[in-house]
Amino acid sequence: MAISRLTLVFFTVVSICYAFTDNPTVPPVFQVDLDLQPSARWAHIIQKYHQIVKDSHAVIRSKVPEKLIPIAEFIAADFDNLLEQPYADELRGIAITANMSLGDIVLTNLVYDISAFCTSITMQDAHGQIWHARNLDYGFTDILRNLTIRIDFMKNKKVSYSVVTYAGYVGVLTGQRPHAFAITLDERDQGAWYDNLLVALLERKVKPVSFLIRDTLAQAKDFTAALEMINSTVTAAEGYFIVSGTNKGEGAVITKNRVGANDIWRLDPSNGRWFEVETNYDHWTSPPASDNRRAPAIKSMNSMGQSNITVDSLFNVLSTPLVLNKKTTYSVVMSPAQPELMKVLVRHPATKN
């Protein structure tokens, strides 16, 4: 998997420089009204961001594996057959507002789906409240930091679900359904994903993982329903789905293959497992020494302690060197039982030396 290998190489290089300064910023917040036609939902955002969406496309196109470009063009040419609603119409509306071709918009959306390196943590505090923390790390960081936004998806003038995303991207990698659950996706690299992608799309009943996350936020009413939906949906790629609910014990890391869950790893606070850290490796294996973000995250969680979980202490965990690295574009803390606590920071780490 070329992009991830590239990311890994970069990571190895940057992880040597561990002294960070960081001046995080708060991203803009938008509403997307689900009661509008899909093609009109994103216009107000794309009007603000069209130049940088175009710039990001140019950068991405110059860096992706050659193979991906004809796949994007193929999807664009048979758009309505290959992509489900509302995503097809939303992407079409974005292409029109940004004055870009459908193929270009599809390419950008594909890349975001598959090149994410991340850390997600689900946990239960000493009072039984469930929390969720995540960093999203990417290869195209400068532009992505400027595209990072929070969106509240509105239905009947109420927040149906909130997400952190990049302008121009209709799938979701980080989201919260208020008083129900929070969910994040970490990439699971299982080799030649783009060879499978076209086959997967042609099979029809498969979803890009980021569409499954958004569908789950839109449709699942609680933690259990979210788990079942992820477990039973065929996806175009594999992935780690980290889900945090509102009741005691409701935290899980789902290691998913394309057809269903390989493994559902649940919190077990009464036996001491009050948190679970997932990066980009199966939890039952050891991460490679060249990319071990898991160990520093676990160490930081243990030194924080179960009785000391707050939004700020979780941002400290997310700022642990290696967990926070040069590729980190944003950090998020959520607790779906108290949705107003959701806090997002765009990260701008820079090395001191």
Ligand X SMILES: *[C@@H]1O[C@H](CO)[C@@H](O)[C@H](O)[C@H]1NC(C)=O
Is 254 one of the binding residues for ligand X (CB under 6 A)? no
DSSP codes, 309-353: --HHHHHHHHTSBTTB-TTEEEEEEE-TTSGGG-EEEE--EEE--
Phi, psi for 9 (deg, rounded to 5): -65, -45
Which residues have a Cβ under 8 Å from the Cβ of 204 and sit 6 or more positions away?
Answer: none
Taking CB under 6 A as the criterion, which residues in 213-242 touch ligand X?
A: 227-228, 231
> DSSP assignment, residue 27?
P
Q: What's the min distance (Å) between Cβ of 75 and ligand X?
A: 20
**Residue 340 C-beta-side C-alpha neighbours within 13 Å:** 0
CB-nearer residue toward ligand X: 190 or 308: 308
Contact 119, 287 (CB under 8 A): no
Cα–Cα dist 110/25, whole Å: 27
Out of 3, 143, 163, 277, point to the residue binding ligand X (CB under 6 A).
143
Residues numbered 39-78 forming contacts with ligand X, rule: CB under 6 A: 52
Is residue 257 part of the contact set for ligand X (CB under 6 A)?
A: no
Which member of 146, 160, 196, 292 binds ligand X (CB under 6 A)? 146
Report the site for ligand X in 165-204 (rule: CB under 6 A).
Answer: none
What is the Cα–Cα distance from 56 to 226, expressed in whole angstroms?
32
Give whichever of 309 and 332 is closer to ligand X, judged by the CB atom. Answer: 309
Task: Find the part of the chain contacting ligand X (CB under 6 A) among 83-91, 138-146, 168-176, 178-186.
Answer: 138-146
Using CB under 6 A, pick the residue from 260, 268, 286, 350 that binds ligand X. 260
Residue listed under structure tokens 């179960």:
306
Task: Write out 143-175 in H/E/C secondary structure.
Answer: HHHHHEEEEEEEECCEEEEEEEEECCCCCCCEE
> Rule CB under 6 A: is residue 261 a binding residue for ligand X?
yes
99 lies in the site for ligand X, by CB under 6 A:
yes
CA 54 distance to own-chain centroid: 21
CB of 157 to ligand X, least distance (A): 32
Q: Is 118 a catalytic residue?
A: yes
Name residues whose C-beta falls within 8 Å of residue 310's C-beta, 6 or more positions apart in sequence: none
308 binding ligand X? (CB under 6 A)? yes
Residue 114 beta carbon to ligand X: minimum distance, rounded to whole angstroms: 21
Alpha-carbon distance 55 to 290, whole Å? 31
Query: How many of the chain's residues bind ligand X (CB under 6 A)?
Result: 16
Is position 299 an interface residue for ligand X (rule: CB under 6 A)? no
Name the pairing type of β-strands 29-33 and 148-155: parallel
Q: Which is nearer to ligand X, 106 or 304 (CB)?
A: 304
Q: Is 128 in the site for ligand X (CB under 6 A)?
A: no
Residue 200: CB minimum distance to ligand X, A: 19
- For the purposes of burial, counting CB atoms within 10 Å of the CB of 107, is it exposed (0-12), middle (13-18) or buried (19 or more)? buried
Q: Given the complex with ligand X, which of 33 and 50 has the nearer CB atom?
A: 50
Choosing from 198, 264, 295, 341, the residue that interacts with ligand X (CB under 6 A) is 264
Closest distance between ligand X and the C-beta of residue 78, in Å? Answer: 23
Q: What is the smallest separation between the CB atom of 294 and ligand X, expressed in angstroms?
A: 19
Closer residue to ligand X (CB): 31 or 101? 101
Query: Is the CB of 76 or the CB of 304 nearer to ligand X?
Result: 304
Catalytic-role residue among 64, 71, 118, 133: 118
Query: What's the 3-state SS for 276-295?
Result: EEECCCCCCCCCCHHHCCHH
Q: What are phi and psi of 155, to 5 degrees?
A: -135, 130
Site residues for ligand X per CB under 6 A: 52, 99, 142-143, 146, 227-228, 231, 260-261, 264, 304-305, 308, 313, 316
Which residues are known catalytic residues?
A: 118
